Amino acid sequence: MDLNLRGKRAIVTGASRGLGYAVAATLAGEGVDIILNARNESALTKAANTIQAQSNAAVIPVAGDITLPDTPAKLVKAAGENFGGVDLLLTNAGGPPPGAFESFSDQDWEKAVDLTFLSHVRLIREALPSLRRSSSPSILTVTSFSVKQPLQNLILSNSIRSATVGLTKSLAIELGPEGIRVNSILPAWTETERVQELMQARAKLNKSSVDDEIAKLTRECPLGRFGTPQEFANAAVFLLSPAASYITGVMLSVDGGFYKGTI
């Protein structure tokens, strides 16, 4: 299937590693020019160089912390100066720290809201004028299957990611008449650095080992394993692409069957 992505322009955040990197690399392989963002400038530059070398697309690294209100404007400005605008926006950020409810202060909650919710709000708001000029505008927020099935010791993520789902669905309704599609993708346990850190936290909480925690979780998965970043990226790139032109307001679980609910 031709995804009709060649020549499109994207902003991908949280892209120096893990899920964001996999999506950016896959988009670039389809001929999409990309503004690549992450906080760590050296890791971001390395990621951009690697993706550039493996594709014919232009990959421009723009370092910045997306919890800061001025970073989205930097990314959209870079897309305008280098590519003439934005067609595709992937809003992705690392998750807040694990922990139980009583372990977090108001400041912890505020930082988590900035990272896990307001980063999406600010990126979308800043990119909208450019997306409105696109012939195939698409927004994809990255959340988690925890919005359907809360996870142990992740009270911040469980709570705040649900707000992004509400935002995504609302924007799909609000922006649909303008032809702007807005979806969310909900990964479950995937082989990333973030998940490895969460497994370490679970092992400490449960007085077990990382291998034991992974084994417990994979027994809950019908496919019997964690997902890979590439499997996540395949689904994300399709949702972003013009090939998914009649899909909006969808919260797609990419979870290997971890989620057992019927809706």
Answer yes or no: are the C-beta atoms of 112 and 74 closer than 8 Å: no
Query: 120-157: per-residue pLDDT in tens?
Result: 999 999 999 999 999 999 999 999 999 999 998 899 99
CA angle 167, 121, 144 (to 5 degrees): 55
Phi/psi region, residue 227 (left: phi>0; alpha: psi -120 to 50; beta: rest), is beta
* Number of helices followed by number of strands (H, E) in the chain: 9, 7
Contacts of 202 (CB under 8 A, 6+ apart): 98, 152, 153, 208, 213
Query: In order of start, what are the domains of the chain with their CATH numbers?
Result: 9-188+228-253 (3.40.50.720), 190-226 (no CATH)
Query: 39-69: per-residue pLDDT in tens?
Result: 999 999 999 999 999 998 999 999 999 999 9
Q: Residue 231 pLDDT more than 90?
A: yes
What mean pLDDT value characterizes the chain?
95
Q: Which helix (H) or strand (E) holds 111?
A: helix 106-113
What predicted TM-score, i.e. pTM, was given to this entire model?
Answer: 0.95
Provide the pLDDT for residue 94: 86
The Cα–Cα gap between 106 and 114 comes to 12
